[in-house]
Structure 1
Amino acid sequence: MKLAIRHSCADFDSYRAARVKSLFNCEDAAAFQLDAELPIEDAAWSVGVIVGPSGSGKSSLGAAVWGEGAFWHPQWPADAPIIDAIDPAGDFNAATAALASVGLGSVPAWLRPYAVLSNGERFRADLARLIAEAPPRAVVDEFSSVVDRQIACVGALAFAKAWRRTRGQAVLLSCHRDILDWIEPDWIFDTATAQFERAPAGSRLRRRPSFELEIAETSWEYWPAFEPHHYLKLPRMIAARCYVGTISGLPVAHVAFSTRPGLVEARACRLVVMPEWQGAGVGLRFLNAICERWRRGENRFGLPLPTLFHTSHPGLCDALRRDRNWTQVSATLAGAHKGRSAASMALSQQRGRVVTVGGGFGGHFRAVQGFRYLGREDAACA
């Protein structure tokens, strides 16, 4: 595919224009030319990147590849949450999976209109719609240009993984080179050097950066930083110990562990990954590592215990079902009878077992699904 970009405009001769030409020896600013050869006509690739400084012809090349109609410019309703705007005629689970797959796993954000989201959330919401609607070809201009670079890199990683599952082709236009390794593109064209690179079949041009997640056992001192990003507002688990995962000293992931009566099983809850790291695959690996510790008896009780974990998050449920370390053990559409729960709590207070009584638990329509950690040895035999 040979592309020739030719742009021109009027050659102004005002006083200031003439003075600029004289000062900077710039006689011809009315024409822009760029020639590029992109051998991408085949279907054996998923993600390509055109990278270069602003004004170097990236958008013009993007339009020349498949036409202006291929540019991805989603229109968002002002009076509806983003969960309603993402493929409204499609499957609900597919919409939530698209949001989770690009790292927008913060459930409260799903219930807000696009206009009130942060720049980072908008960036990921746009990508989620692209994943959900999955056009066969798409050009994304200014990819990651308006977001924090940490969010940009992890968001690029998450998008590339999810987009490849759609079997479509996407050309990303960006002036930032820090995302290239995270995307692992099939090809790159650099407008600054007019150089084209394409990976051999079955491989990628760049290698995704590695990072080390360190895990520490703590109490609840880190929870206030994570709590706003958890989809439920519940009291802290009784007699629980918490674990925090850090990358380069920064808190990234959190989970709490307690035990069920009789010390027969551990129970994990309050799993949260910070928004800037959602989509990088941190959460499940973090949870698995701690569940494996408990399975081997590396806990304050010194007992090898399996772990039970409940969640309502559709994306996390799907991930746990795909992971051979886990098996699903329950699925409940609605909570228990709230009146009976309140009566039971009142009776416990009368007997001196609790100090305060709330309104009871249950009565919701949250589809809670339960999973048990099998462990690496058991998973291999499953």
Structure 2
Amino acid sequence: MKLAIRHSCADFDSYRAARVKSLFNCEDAAAFHLDADLPIEDEAWSIGVIVGPSGSGKSSLGTALWGDDALWRPRWPANAPIIDAIDPAGDFNAATAALAAVGLGSVPAWLRPYDVLSNGERFRADLARLIAEAPLRAVVDEFSSVVDRQIARIGAMAFAKAWRRTQGQAVLLSCHHDILDWIEPDWVFDTATAQFERAAAGSRLRRRPTFDLEIAETGWEHWPAFEPHHYLKLPRMIAAKCYVGTVNGAPVAHVAFSTRPGLVEARACRLVVMPEWQGAGVGLRFLNAICERWRLGENRFGLPMPTLFHTSHPGLCEALRRDQRWTQVSAALFGDNKQRSIESMRLASQRGRMAVTGAGFGGHFRAVQGFRYIGREIGACA
């Protein structure tokens, strides 16, 4: 596919324009020419990237590829939450899956209009709509240009993984080279050098960077940093130990572990992944690693225990069902009687078992689903 970009405008001759031409020896500012040879006519690719500095012709090439209609410009309603705007005629679980896939796992953000989201949340919401609607061809301009670079890299990786599950072709236009390794594109065209690269069949141009997640057992001292990103506001688990995952010393993930009566089973709760790391696949690997420790008896009790985990997050539920190390054990449409829970907690406080908080569990319509970690050996045979 040979593309020839030809733009021109009036050659102004005002005093200031003439002075600029004289000072900087710039006589041909009225014309812009760019020729590109992109051998991408076949359908054996999923993601391409046009990268280069501002003003180098990326947007013009993107438009010339498949026409202006292929440019991805989602329109968001001002008076509706984003969960209602993403493929409104489609399946609810598909919409939440798209949000989770690109790392927008913050449930409160789903309930807000697009206009009040942060730049990072808007970036991921736009990608979620693209994945949910899955056009056969799409060009995304200014990809990751207005977001923090950490969010850009993880968001790019999350989008690439999710987009490759569709049947479409996407061309991403970006000023930033730092996302290329995380996207692992099938081809890249650099407008600054006019160089085209394409991966061999069955391979990728770039290798995704790796990172080490270090896990430490802690108390609740790190929870205040994670709590704003958890979708429930509840008292801390009784007699729990917490685990925090860090990358290069920066906090990334958190979960708390306690036990059920009789020390026959562990219970995990308060799983949170920081927004800038959502979509990297950190959360489930983090949880699995700690559950495996408990299954092997690597805990403060020295007792091997399976782990019970409850969540109402649709994306996490789907991930747990896909993982053979987990088995689903329950699914409740709504919670128990909240007033009865408050009374039970009040009686427990009178016996000195816990402090009075005035809080209670239940009274909601959350579809809480329960899962048990059964381990690698059992899961592998299931």
TM-score category by the smaller chain?
over 0.9
- Aligned partner of residue 262 in structure 1, secondary structure: helix
- Measured after TM superposition, the shift of residue 350 of structure 1 is 5.3
Q: CA deviation at 1:258?
A: 0.3
Find the counterpart in structure 2 of residue 369 from structure 1: 369
Measured in 2, the distance between the counterparts of 1:356 and 1:60 equals: 64
* Residues 353 and 291 (structure 1), Cα distance of their counterparts in 2 relative to 1, 3 Å cut: closer
Following the alignment from structure 1 to structure 2, what is the Cα–Cα distance between the partners of residues 9 and 346?
Answer: 77
Q: Is 1:26 aligned with 2:3? A: no
Distance in 1 (alpha carbons) for counterparts of 2:360 and 2:157: 42
How many residues are treated as equivalent by the alignment? 382
Taking the TM superposition and a 5 Å limit, the aligned residue runs for 1:96-245 are: 96-245=96-245
Greater displacement, 367-376 / 344-353: 344-353
Aligned twin of 1:82: 82
Report the Cα distance in structure 2 between the residues aligned to 1:63 and 1:302, rounded to whole angstroms.
Answer: 62
TM (norm. structure 2) is: 0.98
Runs (4+) off by over 4 Å = 349-355
Q: Distance in 1 between matches of 2:158 and 2:191?
A: 25
* Partner SS for 2:94: helix
Quote the RMSD (CA, aligned, Å): 1.1
Report how far residue 92 of structure 1 moved: 0.8
Kept after mapping to 2: 8 A contact 1:291/1:306: yes
User: How far is 1:210 from its partner?
Assistant: 0.4
Task: Mark the CA change 1:352 to 1:180 in structure 2 (over 3 Å): closer, same or farther.
Answer: closer
- C-alpha separation between the residues in 1 aligned to 2:297 and 2:286? 17
- What is the CA–CA distance in structure 2 between the aligned matches of 1:104 and 1:145, rounded to whole Å? 18
Q: Tell me by how many angstroms 1:166 deviates.
A: 1.1
In the other structure, the counterpart of 2:289 is 289
Match of 2:63 in 1: 63
Q: Quick check: 181-190 or 350-359, which moved more?
A: 350-359
Task: Give the match's secondary structure for 1:130.
Answer: helix
Shift in Å at residue 194 of structure 1? 0.7
**1:82-124 deviation line (CA, Å, top 9, x unaligned):** 1111111111111111100000000111111111110000000
1:359 offset after TM fit, Å? Answer: 5.4
Does structure 2 retain, via aligned residues, the 8 Å contact 1:51–1:176?
yes
Distance change (3 Å), C-alpha of 1:354 and 1:285? closer
Residue equivalent to 1:302? 302
Contact 1:349/1:357 (<8 A) preserved: no
* CA distance in structure 2 between the aligned counterparts of 1:348 and 1:145, rounded to whole angstroms: 54
- Residues 219 and 120 of structure 1: is their aligned pair in 2 closer, same or farther, counting only changes over 3 Å? same
Q: What is the rounded CA distance, in whole Å, between the counterparts of 2:349 and 2:17 in structure 1? A: 84
**1:139-171 CA deviation, whole Å, 9 max, x = no partner?**
000000000000000000000000111121000
TM-score by length of 1: 0.98
Counterpart AA for 2:379: A
Report what 1:318 is aligned to. Answer: 318
Matched residue of 1:316: which SS?
Answer: helix
Q: What are structure 2's unaligned runs of at least 5 residues?
A: none
> Where does residue 40 of structure 1 map in the other structure?
40
CA contact (8 A) 1:295 1:375 kept: yes
Distance 1:359 1:374 in 2: 32
Output the CA distance in 1 between the equivalents of 2:354 and 2:195: 70
Report Cα offsets for 1:308-346 as digits up to 9, x if no partner.
Answer: 100000000001111111111111111112233334334
